[in-house]
Structure 1
């Protein structure tokens, strides 16, 4: 709770209709809450103070039917979606949560930064194994900023025609420079692979060169997020082009408890999510793996006519997940 002195100032300025004073005191209240590590409350107060347009309202301002296309195949280079996941829907490490809180605050208070000749971080690199929350976090950032999420379609951008991939990237950068969005370059390594790799042909190296130049020259309105499962193969020159690098990993025991709490919200069950017997079952799994197992377990509960989710349902879904992993592993070995 804000100090008594700040609350008195806030109410006084509000009752007197002094909007400038009310805004200044409100910002002090928000900063005080953030200093106390009350980030969720601080973020909510910022949205109330500065206003927050929904992503759908933001999207209506632009003609997304005119998305840039690949010239040869006529395929859209971007997929636009309204983000639905909010910050409370994402389980993050403490470090990543703190970084994203800071980035969101920078964008919520962009006017203050710009008055001092500063700008919010607008180039983020998300690294880590599949299914650990990179795409979900990009969606969350878009939702919290009230912006549409644009996913760059790598399958459309990469072309077999000489020079066409770089041309497609130019179309993407020209478009996102004028339209405020959160732009996700998923499978980023397909565009930024190490140029020193002797196995790669000259065209890919030209694409990486072009991409680096576009990143350097970018001065648009969108926030760029690049995500990769293979950060080890990225070109060394890529890393310094990003303001922040976030590393995503499989959830630890505390994160597992939070994840289970979110995913089992509203589900009647015969166990507590902080039961070590339950959380140990998910040890080493990614966020996506956990969600898939829980979804299977809940389906089994519903289809069997049971009212409560049990440990037996979880273990049955685990066995199916293990069988799935074995099949995937065999197919990868064949390939």
Structure 2
């Protein structure tokens, strides 16, 4: 936290209505907190002082201009996003929530760890079915640490030219080593598929070899998050390259209640979220399914001129979701 001297000066200048001195001391306080790796607090203080995080947008713009590109199609190999969703916006299992809290604690107090020759976790593997919060959790991690979120564009990284995919990966690793970010390798299985699979050609096996070597050698400033919906086809050597593995699953009844509470926040309704029957309507759905159903139900409520969301709106939206899933499975 801020030094006692700075806090005294801050209160004194505020009480004297000395705006210039107040701003100057506030900026010094923010710099001190950022130097201590208290990025979340520093960002919040900047938002209070300036109306937004002053450091976020220039960094986002600067990074976007420096992105490495695929030589074949001149496409950027990463997409930079400013994370907006926070810890209170994600619903996780108790185990994953505990792991995420531990990770944040390690990075907030990284200087203490380093003084003992220890380092915070920087390689994570997220696995589980689609729509269960893997990408959202990566965004929350970036947001809570006050870092940009960089999403590796697999469609750009994988090249039709022999040897170019590995070269693209080298560009990505060189770039993310220089600036602190949370880097998401989505659809990770397309880059780390089992090498023993006889159906795969030699070039893909060389890519997997190169990727594993880059993971082993990585000592950059960014946190690497690999996400996959198909963990069963990952190369067996991949698993030990990661410090932690988080398994994501469809939400249970209690998690559904928490999810409904978050997504329906501020929306007037005729039912109580605590009613297990309401949460039971969503049994078996992923986080993304639930969000889609609630968005559809809210639209139905608005367009029908109602002021309160009813169970009927939910049931109608769920019926449409069931029809949508049935068509997808047939396709």
TM-score, shorter chain, exceeding 0.5 = yes
Query: Structure 1 length as normaliser, TM-score?
Result: 0.84
Counterpart in 2 of 1:250? 250
CA distance in 1, matches of 2:298, 2:7: 53
Counterpart in 1 of 2:123? 123
Q: How many residues align?
A: 293
Counterpart in 1 of 2:178? 178
Tell me how large the CA RMSD over aligned residues is: 2.1
Call closer, same or farther: CA 1:17–1:212 in 2, change over 3 Å.
Answer: same
Counterpart in 2 of 1:326? 326
CA distance in 1, matches of 2:129, 2:173: 27
CA distance in 2, matches of 1:290, 1:320: 12
Kindly state the Cα deviation for residue 64 of structure 1 after the two structures are TM-superposed.
2.4
Call closer, same or farther: CA 1:299–1:113 in 2, change over 3 Å.
Answer: same
Query: Structure 2 length as normaliser, TM-score?
Result: 0.85
CA distance in 2, matches of 1:47, 1:94: 26
Can you give the 5+ residue segments of structure 2 that lack an aligned partner in the other structure?
9-35, 45-52
CA distance in 2, matches of 1:158, 1:320: 36
Structure 1 ranges of 4+ moved more than 4 A: 13-18, 46-51
Residues 1:95 and 2:95 aligned together: yes
Kindly state the Cα deviation for residue 277 of structure 1 after the two structures are TM-superposed.
1.6
CA distance in 2, matches of 1:239, 1:146: 28
Kindly state the Cα deviation for residue 14 of structure 1 after the two structures are TM-superposed.
4.4
Counterpart in 2 of 1:147? 147
Counterpart in 1 of 2:55? 57
Moved more, 80-89 or 322-331: 322-331
**Cα pair 2:78 2:152 within 8 Å, conserved:** yes
Counterpart in 2 of 1:277? 277
Can you give the 5+ residue segments of structure 1 that lack an aligned partner in the other structure?
1-9, 19-45
CA distance in 1, matches of 2:323, 2:271: 25
Kindly state the Cα deviation for residue 60 of structure 1 after the two structures are TM-superposed.
2.2
Counterpart in 1 of 2:215? 215
